[in-house]
Amino acid sequence: MGTIREIRFENRFTNFLPSDSETENRERQVYAACYSRVTPAKVKDPKLVAHSKEMMALLGVDPLIGDDVDIAAILSGAKNLPGMDPHAMCYGGHQFGHWAGQLGDGRAIALGEVVDVNGQHQMLQLKGAGPTPYSRSADGLAVMRSSVREFLCSEAMHHLGVPTTRALSLVGTGDAVMRDMFYNGNTKPEPGAIVCRVAPSFVRFGNFEIFSSRDDIENLRKLADFVIETQFKEIDVLDPDKYVQFLNEVVSRTAEMVVEWMRVGFVHGVMNTDNMSILGLTIDYGPYGWLDNYDPNWTPNTTDAAQKRYRYGHQSQVAHWNLAQLANALYPLVGKVEPLQAAIDKYKTVYEKKWAVMMAAKLGLPNLWEKPNKQIADLALKVLELTETDMTIFWRQLAEVSSGIEVGAEDRIKPIKKAHYKPEDLKPENKGEIHAFVDAYTTRLRLLNINDGERREKMNAVNPKFVLRNYLSQIAIEQAESGNNEPVNELLDVMRHPYDHQVNNQKYAELRPDWARTKPGCSQLSCSS
């Protein structure tokens, strides 16, 4: 392992795709370009708050970086390394179902592509590093609360097994940033911060949409060919059907990503097409949230509170709609509707198959293709809504239910009672439905001759004990804002092993406390949160 100064840059994106001809960093419409070169803003006093040891190691950097005095400056954009090529991408997007025109990296500046220890390319991108031509009158900066949330969630999602961009570091800038958290006129200074995000590519659906919307077919083709050649090596670049194959692959990856969201109870909160990765990675952690009590209609985004377009139970449909917009953007390269429509139509089938496999694993059943197994899954989801029930704890505790015929009815349901926020509010008829579900479930387990111990082990491998509950992040945020970084790093360590018992960290797996039910940052958030 070496130092961060030894990272090797190989900037394919900026070397092979068209750049903005204008060099002045001012807000404007950018045409015929995939990106604009920009310089990160200078920060007052960069200090490393936290870093991902795994990501440091992947980049060939010694994870024990305490003696590297320059690392905070480098990962805040204040100090350049040889080979860096800072830039912000140009893209458009549909926001809440409506075309928004040019958007672009308004507060994200990529430092360049590096080659990791496996020989794979990774883009390093700073979020909160200052204005770009795409900032739309904003300052391009980020604050500690939103940066802690992005840093922790990126890594938590990875360790949960959810496709995601990663986070290399979290740096406090020493600057005060003015923010109105809920856009209600309550502006105040907050400590600034920058997250270094990492992904093989940050290209989104919106990168294709902007060129298509402007009838810039030449650059649309350049971008598509570049993405296929660099990110989809399984596709033959000489195949005349390569763009359709590309769409099919994006469809499959997107379906897989959303199924994984549903598995762990994650709600993205702002599934605009500019926030959809062509690699099927979870990208742009803004007003996201985790289901505490199971509610398919819950959204964490205050902007979406009325419409609830991006609610938990609607994420699959939104992904389907977004993919259709990508297909529309690719149409000029294909010239035929039918193969593009066939790819989009495939989404529902792919999603349902992946969802069925996922749900069977959560239940510890071999499949959902058999009708009795599917009925068990339907009953489980119904039971989750009978009373305020913690989703994460419910699935974890279901593994503890005994299928032994000698176990009494009350003892049999005792494990899942721990998932109820207010067990005293449970109506007698609802309690009866819970008994009926558990009886049906355990009867099925006995019929299939499924061993409880083996089932528990398999269920615990897909049903996490620890997720990044909003209130846990908020506690860490408040400490980091006061200069105490220890809770951020402690929480990061817990989230590195979400499926392990971690008996000494039980406090991170408890029911959401009452005080967090309506507290800002713990319930709903704005896009600036």
pLDDT band at 526 (very low <50, low <70, confident <90, very high): low
Q: Which of 14, 17, 19, 77 is nearest to 43 (CA)?
A: 77
Q: Is the pLDDT of residue 19 over 50?
A: yes
Element (H, E) at 173: strand 166-179
In 200-247, where do the E strands start and end? Answer: none
State whether the Cα torsion 355-361-364-370 is positive or negative: positive
Instruction: Report which of residues 388 and 186 the model is more confident about.
Output: 388
How do residues 298-347 score in pLDDT, each as one tens digit?
999 989 888 999 999 999 999 999 999 999 999 999 999 999 999 999 99
Cβ neighbours of residue 227 under 8 Å, at least 6 residues apart?
Answer: 201, 203, 246, 278
**Contact (Cβ atoms closer than 8 angstroms) between residue 88 and residue 35:** yes
138 DSSP 8-state letter:
S
Token pair listed for 195: 């997250």
The catalytic residue positions are 274
pLDDT, one tens digit per residue, over 174-188 is 999 998 876 677 889
Would you say residue 45 has pLDDT above 80? yes
Q: How many Å apart are CA 146 and CA 474, to the nearest integer? A: 10
Q: Which two tokens stand for residue 50?
A: 């936290």
Q: At what angle do helices 337-363 and 452-460 cross, to 10 degrees?
A: 130
Phi, psi (rounded to 5 degrees) for 340: -70, -45
Residue among 150, 144, 41, 135 nearest 89 (CA): 135
Task: Give the tokens for residue 96.
Answer: 């809440």
The length of the chain, given as a count of residues:
529
Q: What percent of the chain has pLDDT over 70?
A: 98
- Record the pTM: 0.96
b/e code 356-369 from CB counts within 10 Å (16+ = b): bebbbbbbbbeebe
pLDDT of residue 319: 98
| 473: nearest Cα among 195, 150, 166 | 150
- pLDDT of 529: 45
Q: Give the DSSP letter string of 298-334.
A: ---BGGGTTT-TT-GGGHHHHHHHHHHHHHHHHHHHH
CA angle 457, 462, 468 (to 5 degrees): 120
Q: What pLDDT does residue 81 have?
A: 93
What digits encode the pLDDT tens for the residues 346-375? 999 999 999 999 999 999 999 999 999 999
Question: What confidence tens digit (pLDDT) does each residue in 62-117 have?
Answer: 877 755 668 999 999 999 999 999 999 999 999 999 999 999 999 999 999 999 99
Q: What is the mean pLDDT of the chain?
A: 95
**Cα Rg of the chain, angstroms:** 24
